[in-house]
Structure 1
């Protein structure tokens, strides 16, 4: 399959370095709200890249569940492949891509578990069957003989924890926060003359330095 002749001209917007806010969080909030208003499907979905001591990068889609004052939060199984990578190398990068807006945002920074009580509070907000499903994926990414084994485990857990019974929060499940060190905003432009503005956190005073990158 040859896609070398397939291309689009991006002409929906622009990004001017002189008019961006001092804080990247203000711009990130604005772009996220634009994506929501344009009815982008799951605009909070992001590609998460991690790399353990084996030096082999891994990437997968996860869902951002919160924007904090310092970063972003997502939830997962701590014993998953991504959890193992994070334990070995607490640095990560995520990518949001909103095709409808011809925009992408790259975020990189350090990553750490959030408070267990906060994880538990979020877990109890999830739909009941999603809570049950979290217990099925143990260990997440582990090999399973077939789907029937998964289904049987799920049905047994549903019987153990009916709708009127609280599903306990697994100790192996919870949230991570990526504290942002650098965030790049990309706006597609015609003729591949894309706008790229990157914010870098100054470690001395936590202020943000902006610069334009070549496309």
Structure 2
């Protein structure tokens, strides 16, 4: 099949199927990081861009995940499409997206999401929900009648894959696992035992 030897094309094909068939958030992915002490952490984030350069998500640059990525700039991603009985695992170094990319994506977000990015001190203790709601109201007032610019503490990261594994469920746990590994000339592909 066309694109089968290109992991990015294969991913786009699988994502398109998931978008058509998954009931909720087909672009949801688990993001795994480690901090400076080697303590792992995982959380769900949303894929907001994908191309041959990598897989992009956005966050508060002062969040726990951003601090982890600053200390150890590598990450793992896991897409799990249960209804399709498929998974994709991505591993590789992480880089910040450009300011232009961050600005362009931020401009596509809903206004309340933009205001929330200003109001939230993500990953920090919160005394009460009322405190956050008051901060949000302050941002509504601050930006009333105008565009909401991207906060300086908010942007995106790109996971630049050096490994992409495609897992397809098969009967009797005889699954199919295809591993793509980055090499200077592109990608090598092989199978793995289930």
Shorter-chain TM band: over 0.9
The one of the two structures with greater contact order (alpha-carbon pairs below 8 A, sep at least 6) is 1
Q: Matched residue of 2:164: which SS?
A: strand
Query: Shift in Å at residue 42 of structure 1?
Result: 1.1
Question: Is contact 1:48–1:93 with CA below 8 Å preserved after alignment?
Answer: yes
Q: TM-score, normalised by structure 2?
A: 0.96
Residues of 2 paired with 1:53 and 1:39: CA distance? 36
The reply on whether 1:141 has 2:120 as its aligned counterpart is no
Which residue of the partner structure matches residue 10 of structure 1? none
Alignment of 1:34-53 (within 5 A): 34-53=17-36
Residues of 1 paired with 2:87 and 2:22: CA distance? 16
Question: Is contact 2:8–2:51 with CA below 8 Å preserved after alignment?
Answer: no
Which residue of the partner structure matches residue 159 of structure 1? 141
Which residue of the partner structure matches residue 187 of structure 2? 208
Alignment of 1:110-129 (within 5 A): 110-129=93-112
Q: TM-score, normalised by structure 1?
A: 0.86
Query: What does the per-residue CA deviation read over 1:43-80, in whole Å, with 9 as the maximum and x for residues that have no partner?
Result: 11100000021111000000001112221111101110
Which residue of the partner structure matches residue 13 of structure 1? none
Query: Shift in Å at residue 151 of structure 1?
Result: 0.8
Query: What does the per-residue CA deviation read over 1:132-185, in whole Å, with 9 as the maximum and x for residues that have no partner?
Result: 0001112x10011111101111112112222x3111211110011111100000
Question: Is contact 2:36–2:71 with CA below 8 Å preserved after alignment?
Answer: yes
CA RMSD of superposed structures (Å): 1.5
Which residue of the partner structure matches residue 173 of structure 1? 154
Answer with 1 or 2: which has the greater Rg.
1
Q: Flag structure 2 segments of 5+ consecutive residues without an equivalent.
A: none
Query: Shift in Å at residue 19 of structure 1?
Result: 8.9
52, 66, 89: which one pairs with 1:83?
A: 66
